[in-house]
Each structure stands twice: as structure tokens, then as C-alpha cells.
């Protein structure tokens, strides 16, 4: 396997597509359906990358990113916002919260993998 990616996404269709693309390309994928569970899983699994939706139940993606960055054990894990929040300033808001990258939804299946791989930590 190439690496372990945690996807924090509450939309089952989006999660299915992301998981399909990543697993087809050799990645191990874990998923959380809300922000609080995502933080708990990140702490337990220590993935190589976290793909983070912004609009989540329980705790939004901005709060999740800030929480991940505040935890010294998780702070080095790259976090990429994958979101339909695509208005002016949304990218900056995600980056200010602690995200390392930003991918707009709907994702483009032809470019998604290369966008994700740009943010993976070298092994």
C-alpha cells in the first residue's frame, strides 16, 4: 500500500468516490462521518494525510483543522480541505484554520489523485 489517508466526509456519495479513487490507486482509506470522530480517528491512526470536508456535523472542518494543529502529535499531518465552499475567501479561511491545501467539489476524478498526492508527506 502507498499510504494511509483519513477522509472526514459526511456525504456518502462523495466519500464513495474519494475512497474508490484512492483505493484503486493503492491507498488505504479510513473514513469518519463527522468532525469529532475524525479527530479521534486521526489521533488513533496517525494517517499520512487527512482529507477534510468543511461542512460537517458535530464540529465543522475549520474547528477540526484548528484542533488537529493544536495537537503536537497530529500537527505535522497534512490536511487538505475538500469542499464545496468555493466562494471568495473560503480558501484563505481554510488555510488560516490550518489546512495545507484546498480542493474544490465536485472533485474532478481525472485530476483528484494528483492534487492529493501533492500533499502527501514523503515516506
Residue 123: its pLDDT value, please? Answer: 52
User: Over the stretch 45-75, which tens digit does the pLDDT of each residue have?
Assistant: 999 999 999 999 999 999 999 999 999 999 9
What's the mean per-residue pLDDT of the chain? 94
Q: Is the pLDDT of residue 18 over 60?
A: yes
Residue pair 39/51 in contact by the 8 Å Cβ criterion: no
Q: How far is 58 from 123, CA to CA, in rounded Å?
A: 33
- pTM for this one? 0.96
Q: Is the pLDDT of residue 122 over 70?
A: no
What CA–CA distances, in Å, run from 24 to 18, 62, 105, 117?
A: 10, 29, 20, 14
Domains identified in the chain and CATH numbers = 4-117 (3.40.50.2300)
Amino acid at each position: 500500500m502507498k499510504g494511509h489517508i483519513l477522509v472526514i466526509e459526511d456525504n456518502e456519495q462523495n466519500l464513495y468516490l474519494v475512497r474508490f479513487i484512492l483505493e484503486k490507486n493503492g491507498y488505504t482509506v479510513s473514513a469518519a462521518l463527522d468532525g469529532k470522530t475524525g479527530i479521534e480517528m486521526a489521533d488513533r491512526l496517525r494517517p499520512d494525510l487527512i482529507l477534510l470536508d468543511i461542512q460537517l456535523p458535530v464540529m465543522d472542518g475549520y474547528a477540526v483543522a484548528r484542533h488537529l494543529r493544536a495537537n503536537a502529535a497530529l500537527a505535522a499531518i497534512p490536511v487538505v480541505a475538500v469542499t464545496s465552499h468555493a466562494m471568495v475567501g473560503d480558501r484563505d479561511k481554510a488555510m488560516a484554520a490550518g489546512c495545507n491545501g484546498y480542493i474544490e467539489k465536485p472533485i474532478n476524478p481525472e485530476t483528484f489523485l494528483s492534487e492529493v498526492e501533492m500533499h502527501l508527506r514523503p515516506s
